[in-house]
Amino acid sequence: MSAICGVLSLDERSAPRHDLAVMMRALNKHGPDGNDSWHSGPIALGHQAMHITLESRHERLPLHHAPSGIALTCEARIDNRDELMRAL
């Protein structure tokens, strides 16, 4: 199973990257398939990847969509993926 972590600086200073690095090291065993992080201002996200499905091999998380400013990382499973894809 993959692992995620994050830091939010409530006083709006830059998120302490050292804190994220400590968390990423603690979760290292969950990331045999790679890891990455994303930082912007008061927010930092980390992801330790363990691919358990064929689809997950193509994931690169955290994901940042520059036009919207949205960033996310998750460890999730969608059981009704085909149904959702048809609806979309």
**Cβ distance 56 to 45 under 8 Å?**
no
- Please work out, in degrees rounded to the nearest 5, the angle formed at the alpha carbon of residue 80 by the alpha carbons of 74 and 86: 110
Confidence (pTM): 0.81
Residue with tokens 């969509």: 65
Residue with tokens 């290292």: 28
| 22-80 residue pLDDT tens | 999 999 999 999 999 999 999 999 999 999 888 888 888 999 999 999 999 998 878 89
CA–CA separation, 74 and 87 (whole Å): 22
pLDDT surpassing 80 at residue 12: no
Q: How confident is the model at residue 13 (pLDDT cuts 50, 70, 90)?
A: confident
Instruction: Please give the torsion angle defined by the CA atoms of residues 28, 32, 38 and 43, in that order, rounded to the nearest 10 degrees.
Output: -40
